[in-house]
Amino acid sequence: MSRPRDNLSIGALAETAAVNIETIRFYQRKGLMAEPARPPGGIRRYGHAELARVRFIKSAQRLGFSLNEIAELLSLDDGTHCRDARRIAAHKLDDMRGKLADLRRMEAALKRLVARCDATHGTITCPLIASFK
Amino acid sequence: MSRPRDNLSIGALAETAAVNIETIRFYQRKGLMAEPARPPGGIRRYGHAELARVRFIKSAQRLGFSLNEIAELLSLDDGTHCRDARRIAAHKLDDMRGKLADLRRMEAALKRLVARCDATHGTITCPLIASFK
DNA sequence: TTTACGGCCGTACCAAAGTACGGAGTCAAG
DNA sequence: CTTGACTCCGTACTTTGGTACGGCCGTAAA
């Protein structure tokens, strides 16, 4: 069942995932993704597992997780430490709810600011800046 | 109208604003806040303008602005660039909405994971990770 | 007045997350 | 069978947002 794009070089993988080649290597060095075995003296090939992994890392990063946290998140995926995984996941969930709350506040604040900027159009003090004072 | 806390040393300012002294100096070096003139050979004093400025920077950081973006926002505070400030804020708002959506998906996934860990006590594949594949 | 606490200043260092580079080796097309 | 594009690997450099350090000096309390 391997799809057409399942025999990628590192360059092709990087391009498909829209990251720099060096970023892939960096993630490998960091242990965030495995390096596929290389046929002796040959070139490594990457498939959609690796592509998914890179995309996962990038998604999680956008959500404000550090690479270390992402490593922890990935460690939940082994299926053999469900209790530990639950604990870590619950902790992350708390985290995430905090971040959600922050983001919602940020969104509301920004929305108000943008609206006020639209409304006041040419006053002396920008409400965006005044609002922090 | 100057309040009691209007004659702060840098240390007191830092403490009041709950940041490191070095952080204040760093912001000064970066041009994010002015250094009050020092009475020749003397010690600088800070008032609530400076306190407000530090708090502004910290607030804006929590809203996801980088120090460079904050500098840009501050440079627009002359009353004539409200439209530019609006543009920057609107852009951030977009950012933030994307993040909110992602985070909500992730929260849902984690909640399911925790529930399933509670329920199955066995080996499953992390739905959080699966959700990105 | 002495002494200690803190401010001033410059420089150096830190962690995170890459990015760049150079000298190999490999592989496919012409 | 050579050339050019790409991989591999190690090392070094970069940016962001700070922190730490050390020598000098001012100010305030004992």
* pLDDT tens digits along B23-72: 999 999 999 999 998 877 789 999 989 999 999 899 888 777 899 989 98
| B41 located within any domain | yes
Which of A67, A100, A120 is the last residue before a domain boundary?
A: A67
Residue that wins the pLDDT comparison between B20 and B131: B20
| A85 located within any domain | yes
Which of A67, A96, A122 is the last residue before a domain boundary?
A: A67
**A84, A52: one domain:** no
Q: CA end-to-end span of chain A, whole Å? A: 60
The CATH number given to whatever domain includes residue B64 is 1.10.1660.10
**A52, A112: one domain:** no
Q: What is the pLDDT of residues A26-67, one digit of tens each?
A: 999 999 999 999 877 789 999 999 999 999 999 888 877 899
**A15, A58: one domain:** yes
**A108, A58: one domain:** no
**Percent of chain B scored above 70 by pLDDT?**
80
Q: d(Cα A59, Cα B106) in Å, to the nearest integer?
A: 10
Structural domain including B19 reads 1-75
Of the partner residues A89, A109, A110, the one whose CB lies closest to the CB of residue B114: A89
Of the partner residues B56, B96, B117, the one whose CB lies closest to the CB of residue A89: B117
Residue A118 scores a pLDDT above 90: no
Residue that wins the pLDDT comparison between B112 and B22: B22
Distances from the Cα of B30 to the Cα of A123, B15, B26, B60, angstroms: 28, 20, 6, 16
Q: Is the dihedral of CA A110, A115, A116, A118 positive or negative?
A: positive
| Average pLDDT along chain B | 80
**A8, A61: one domain:** yes
Average pLDDT over residues A1-13: 78
Q: Are B71 and B31 in contact (CB under 8 A)?
A: yes
Helix ranges (H only) for chain B are 10-17, 21-29, 48-62, 67-75, 82-120, 127-130
Nearest CA in chain A to B76: A126
| A72 located within any domain | no
Q: What is the pLDDT of residues A63-109, one digit of tens each?
A: 778 999 899 888 876 666 667 767 777 777 787 787 778 778 777 87
Residue B76 scores a pLDDT above 80: no
Q: Are A76 and B113 in contact (CB under 8 A)?
A: yes
**A34, A92: one domain:** no
Of A94-103, A109-118, B4-13, B22-31, the range with the highest mean pLDDT is B22-31
Of B59, B60, B9, B53, nearest in space to B33 by CA: B53
pLDDT band for position B120 (cuts 50, 70, 90):
low
**A62, A85: one domain:** no
| B33 located within any domain | yes
Q: Are B45 and B36 in contact (CB under 8 A)?
A: yes
> How many domains are there within chain B?
1
Q: How far does CA A20 lie from the centroid of its chain?
A: 15
Residue B124 scores a pLDDT above 70: no
Q: Are B44 and B38 in contact (CB under 8 A)?
A: yes
**A4, A62: one domain:** yes
- Give the A:B interface size as CB pairs under 8 Å: 136
Closest CA to D9 C1' — which residue? A25
**With an 8 Å Cβ cutoff, are B89 and A96 in contact?**
no
Distances from the Cα of B60 to the Cα of A52, A61, A105, B63, B123, angstroms: 33, 20, 12, 5, 43
Strand C–CB B71 distance below 7 A: no
